[in-house]
Amino acid sequence: MLDIAWQSLRNRWSTALLAVFAIAISVALILTVDQVRRDARTAFVQTVSGTDLVVGARSGAVQLLLYSVFRIGNATNNMSWQSATEIAERREVAWTIPLSLGDSYRGYRVLGTNQGYFTHYRFGRDRQLSLSDGVVFDDLFDVVLGSEVARELEHKLGDQIIIAHGTGSVGLATHDNQPFKVAGILAPTGTPVDRTVHVSLEGIEAVHVDWRNGMQVQGEGTSADVIRDMDLEPSEITAMMVGLKTRGTVFRVQRAINNYRAEPLLAILPGVALQQLWDLVGVAETALLAVSAVVVLAGLINLISVLLSSLAERRREMAILRSAGASPGTIFRLLCLESTLLALAGIVAGFVLHQLTIQLVSAILSTRFGMDLPSHLPGVSELLLCIAILVGAIIAGAIPAWRAYRQSLADGMAQRT
């Protein structure tokens, strides 16, 4: 029976390929949407770990999380350095990481921070940042590049870079009087850190010495040697990460910061803010899965239509099989077997197409958001989806098989004029 089914599909290869293609598209779509949904959530969750609070100017929790951790968007306001210092001096606080954003380098965000960033920042499962080459901030104008920045722009140690004012891909005003030197390159992390240019807080202040109210002062500019002798303590920063000595004090510290009298501040728990973010995009996730399910259903309907349309051409074939001794049940099983073969071929082709799509989507997400979608063998969820599609295809194939089962021998052998 398997040989008969295979020969029958070969004789109708064009319609069979159409059915396989429809199933492959639906399988690839639903597998890709499911993996992007799961891996994107995992990538976001693993971007920062071990940080108890993120503090910034009062805005929204999701907005604060996006610009401080994921380098997406911009802050509505900054927080004063005095407030950051007072928070760092609280007895419950173990460490803080100041973050200063606002500049860029060839489309990549520039982050001003201190040595604590490389000591206390954690990602994934409590993994620490590490250098693949070089050192961290040995000089005022040293810069440490994320792995993707160094790879895409082909930078190596000792190269000079000039950062630009603002966060656009093309800087309208560059800090060309104070070039930075590449002193270190970070190992890959699979997080937005890979897409970040890191400089010291003092370096951020140094390149803005000749700026007033967001505008560059006309003139020759202050020399680097003079800048080195200046007091470069920042007056404000964009945000701050906070690590506490004990997790039990997190709500007390959060409440104290949110009620801070000197200026309006907001302290968020990264995990809670992430959940709010996924609540916001949950509707989009559901919509994508619904669209994928509809595409799968369309693929199964196409399978039914292909098999039904072929029945008119195969009525004599069915009648010959019946006259050769095949029972109605044999005819039924033959068509069910054909639909199963088509579905299996579509699922295999769909998985291959899914892997190719993941490679493309991963490159886009990595370039834009620093998120990696790894290719891997199908897991339990993927196998369950494929099994569900296969069962659906078998059920779909039973409809034309039942129709063939009911066709009579006389009807099949009748000569039509």
Query: At how many degrees (to 10) do helices 2-11 and 13-45 cross?
Result: 100
The DSSP result for 74-97, as a single string, is: --SS-EEHHHHHHHHTSTTEEEEE
Q: What is the pLDDT of residue 312?
A: 62
Which residue would you say has higher pLDDT here, 165 or 325?
165
Gap between the Cα atoms of 273 and 45, Å rounded: 10
pLDDT band for position 46 (cuts 50, 70, 90): confident
Q: What is the mean pLDDT of residues 254-271?
A: 94
Residue 226, pLDDT score: 84
pLDDT in tens, 109-133: 999 999 999 999 998 778 899 999 9
Strands (E), 344-388: none
H or E stretch covering 67:
helix 61-69
* 256 confidence band (pLDDT: 50, 70, 90): very high
* Average pLDDT over the chain, rounded to an integer: 81
Q: Which two tokens stand for residue 232?
A: 């470069």
Q: Tell me which residue has tokens 């950051």.
A: 84
SS3 for 363?
A: helix
